[in-house]
Amino acid sequence: MNENSLITAKSVDELAASTDLVALYRQMLLIREAELKVLELRRVDEVAGSLHPCVGQEVVPATIVNLLGLQDRVLATYRGHGWALACGLPLEMFFAEILGRKTGINGGRGGSAYFTAPEYRFVGENSIVGAGLPIANGVAMGLNFVGDQGVVVTSFGDGATNQGSTHEALVFAIARNLPVVFVCENNDWSEMTPISETVPKTSLHARAAGYGLPAVSVDGRNIIGLIDAARAAIALARSGDGPSFIEVRVPRLLGHYNADLQLYRSEEDKSEHTSRDPLRALEEVLIENGTLTRTGLDQLYEDAVKIVDTAAVAAMKAPLPDPTTATLHVSSNHATKAVPPLPSQGKEIAYGLAANRALILAMDSHPEVVMFGEDVATAGGNFGVTRNIRKNYGERIFDTPISESAILGAALGASITGMRPVVEIMWSDFLMVAFDQLVNQAANVRFISQGTLTAPMVVRMQQGITPGSCAQHSQSLEALIAHIPGLKVGLPSTPDDAFAMLRAAIGDPDPVIIIESRALYLDKGIVDFDAPVQDVGGARLRRVGGDAVIVTWGRITSTALESAEQLALEGIDVSVLDLRWLSPLDEEALIGAVRASSGRVVVLHEANETGGFGGEVVARLAQRAFDDLAGPVQRLGLPDVRVAASPVLQQAVFPSVDRVKEAVRATMR
């Protein structure tokens, strides 16, 4: 790969002539003055928290955004003020956000390091290093799905090129030939560590070139070279020729953040960086080529200061947010309709096939649904759940690299741009390598945007113990997801629910995680394919008995039911409440079932006991139904162990029917 493949044959003079350097200078100056003003406001305690100024790096957003159209999008990092302003975010909204005001672009929810302004093409900043790149891929997919032919620019630091998600994103973008321009702002430092220490034997753009992206490195003072490279990269993306990578070498004129004393940095390094300021370089060009005089420059400077001051003063007068809104916009909170009983009429079908039917129906009824994941398309999935979709729906289902962060990030980016991705993570254990994209990214979309943007994405995965599954392929991790506000999670325990809950998830406006059970995939049951689409949420009473209730979910529900049948032979009549959804939790059904079952409760799950969702169930009962409890609640889960592969050792820890029966008897003593 020719590392200079983004440099076109156009002459420097031709490019210079077609570029409004004064407008560019104004833009850079405005960003610089805005940053300096923000720092000043921080010094006098008008701003809370850390600031990451882009002073020295203004040239990158100012040049590149200028080359974008209205159909294009930008994603940046916590050092993203310049990108947002270049995209057109009004200065007053910018200051108001950083000042934590109601009139800020996100009403004070984003602050300096995490604001988003999609209405100005700025998908957002990101405070997680490297996390924006996978999302940029999805935004590119989404823009092109809605027919905008948009190009996505995502900016990140030199340090981010050491992050796994960055590499996954580059690999994914090239595999899918996505219209993304990856812009690395190399300021030589990642916080307090020089890039030379962590990337000793290669260059940053060479890394990207190694994946097959056209890649180039440009000095930020070489404004014409930067424009040339960016134009070429944008043109490549726009014409369907895929992603590319531009490294821009820029100085970091200040510390990593506002309070950084930079004791780790030599004076030589600081002055070397100061000597490379692109703003000063551009001033010299403007003077040398006679475009402006010193007085002209001074005038532009005074104009910029005035504009910035006026906006800052106005923002400071803006009202603070109403504290009662702090809990709003976490999830959609539509009331859950009553969940119908399991159907007695319908078609008998296996659990895995029922999920497959839900996916096919979604493909038929929602053109915006796309599916992707590892082995899901041609092979039909590791467990066959996505079989027979590729042949009818073509590229709407595709196989991805083994890159879980890239998969989830792409799903997120696509979901906020008009698509409805339904992606598969092969085993819930594998979610752990990409949890950021759910917890720090997807869960925040509605919140940050004050409900103006949502992320309607579905993640399917499966979990649990089966004979021979090792400690890395047998965990039950639902409590980790249920812990995160902004995510919804459900665990179907029957074929009907494998169908109905997946359909509900696909119809939901928020990120929903459906945890299927590998052990159940071949189990058959009646499925009502004609039933109306349910809402996400709602528990189901699977058995009614007045002596005690077993509260459970997922595949171990069948153990609860079998235990109840056996206990009935002893004259103990037990209810079984299948919670189905842990988030949102059907608290009314829970309390109702406890009251109707003499207040004797067993909470049963396959997950380890400590920190399992059973603890949450017990806490809710203690808070809301303490007087209804007949005695201590019995909690039965996997003991706090790792799971062995040997079936004998597995059976030794799995909550068996006998243990469940014993737990129920214990509530009656």
| Structure token digits, residue 106 | 């996100």
Of positions 1, 16, 128, 360, contacts ligand TPP by CB under 6 A: 128
Pick the catalytic residue from 52, 81, 205, 473.
473
* Number of residues in contact with Mg ion under rule CB under 5 A: 6
Query: Rounded to whole angstroms, how far apart are CA atoms 374 and 423?
Result: 9
Residue 246 CB, shortest distance to Mg ion, in Å, is 15
**Which residue's CB is nearer to ligand TPP, number 207 or number 329?**
207
Q: Would you say 325 and 106 are in contact if contact means Cβ atoms under 8 Å apart?
A: no
**Minimum CB distance to ligand TPP smaller for 159 or for 456:** 159
Residues 152-171 that bind ligand TPP (CB under 6 A): 156-160
Rounded Cα distance between 241 and 220, Å, is: 25
Report the Cα–Cα distance between both ends of the chain, in Å, rounded.
75
User: Residue 126 or residue 650: which is nearer to ligand TPP going by CB?
Assistant: 126
Q: Report the C-alpha gap between 153 and 133 in whole angstroms.
A: 9
**C-beta of 125: minimal distance to ligand TPP in Å?**
11
Nearest residue to 229 (alpha-carbon basis) of 202, 250, 255, 247? 247
CB nearer ligand TPP, residue 164 or residue 509: 164
Give 218's contacts (C-beta < 8 A, 6+ positions apart).
225, 226, 229, 246, 247, 248, 249
> Which whole-number Å values give the CA distances from 64 to 14, 184, 458, in the listed order?
18, 12, 34
Structure token pair of residue 492: 């179907």
Distance CA(203)–CA(33), nearest Å, equals 32
Q: Collapsing DSSP states into helix, strand and coil, what is residue 158?
A: coil
Contact flags string 600-629 toward ligand TPP, x per CB under 6 A: ------------------------------
Which of Mg ion, ligand TPP, none interacts with 515 (beta carbon under 5 to 8 A by kind)? none
Q: Which residue number has the CB closest to Mg ion?
A: 157
Q: Which stretch binds ligand TPP (CB under 6 A): 150-158, 325-333, 404-412, 584-592?
A: 150-158
CA distances from 40 to 26, 44, 45, 53, 95 (A): 21, 7, 9, 12, 12
* Distance of closest approach, residue 51 Cβ to ligand TPP, in angstroms: 12
Cβ 260 to ligand TPP, closest distance in Å? Answer: 10
- Residues 179-198 binding ligand TPP (CB under 6 A) are 187, 189-191
Among 158, 404, 436, 508, binds Mg ion (CB under 5 A): 158
Place of tokens 């819930």: 428
The smaller minimum CB distance to Mg ion, of residues 182 and 553, is found at: 182
Kindly tell me which residue out of 63, 77, 187, 403 binds Mg ion, with binding defined by CB under 5 A.
Answer: 187
Residue 157 sits in the site that holds Mg ion (CB under 5 A): yes
Catalytic: 473? yes
CB of 157 to ligand TPP, least distance (A): 2
Residue 129 lies near ligand TPP (rule: CB under 6 A): yes
Residue 407 Cβ vs ligand TPP, minimum distance, rounded to whole Å: 18
For Mg ion, the closer of residues 120 and 189 by Cβ is 189
Give me the residue whose beta carbon is nearest to ligand TPP: 157
Structure tokens belonging to residue 661: 């029966």
- Determine if residue 277 is left, alpha or beta; phi over 0 gives left, psi from -120 to 50 gives alpha, anything else beta: beta
> Among ligand TPP, Mg ion, none, what does residue 244 contact (CB within 5–8 Å per kind)?
none
Q: Which of residues 243-272 bind ligand TPP (CB under 6 A)?
A: 256
**Where in 241-356 does DSSP place strands (E)?**
244-249, 347-350
* Of the candidates 484, 459, 460, 617, the residue with the CA atom closest to the CA atom of residue 552: 617
Least spacing, CB of residue 159 vs Mg ion, in Å: 5
Segment interacting with Mg ion (CB under 5 A) among 183-191, 208-216, 253-261, 383-391: 183-191
d(CA 400, CA 420): 17
DSSP state of 451: T
Task: Select 114 or 553, whichever has its Cβ closest to Mg ion.
Answer: 114
- Give the SS3 label for residue 432: helix
Query: Rounded to an integer, what distance in angstroms lies between the CA atom of residue 149 and that of residue 237?
Result: 9
**Alpha carbon distance 71, 153 (integer Å):** 12
Q: Give kind and range of the element (H or E) at residue 486.
A: none
Angstrom distance (rounded) from CA 194 to CA 103: 38
Which lies closer to ligand TPP via its Cβ, residue 159 or residue 321? 159
Q: Judged by CB under 5 A, which stretch of 180-188, 407-415, 477-485, 646-654 contacts Mg ion?
A: 180-188
* 12 phi and psi angles, rounded to 5 deg: -60, -40
Q: If you ran DSSP here, which 8-state letter would residue 533 be given?
A: P
> Which among ligand TPP, Mg ion, none contacts residue 27 (Cβ within 5 to 8 A by kind)?
none
By the rule CB under 6 A, 495 interacts with ligand TPP: no
Q: Smallest distance, Å, CB 250 to Mg ion?
A: 9
CA distance 68 to 252: 25
Q: State the nearest-atom distance from the C-beta of 206 to ligand TPP, in Å.
A: 17
Cα 388 to Cα 379: distance, rounded to the nearest angstrom: 9
Q: Does 50 bind ligand TPP (CB under 6 A)?
A: no
Coil vs helix vs strand at 488: strand
602 binds, among ligand TPP, Mg ion, none (CB under 5 to 8 A by kind): none
Q: Determine, following the binding rule CB under 6 A, whether residue 79 of this chain makes contact with ligand TPP.
A: yes
Cβ nearer to ligand TPP, comparing 249 with 357: 249
Task: Catalog residues that contact ligand TPP under the rule CB under 6 A.
Answer: 77, 79, 127-129, 156-160, 187, 189-191, 256
Residues tagged active-site: 473
Task: Catalog residues that contact Mg ion under the rule CB under 5 A.
Answer: 157-159, 187, 189-190
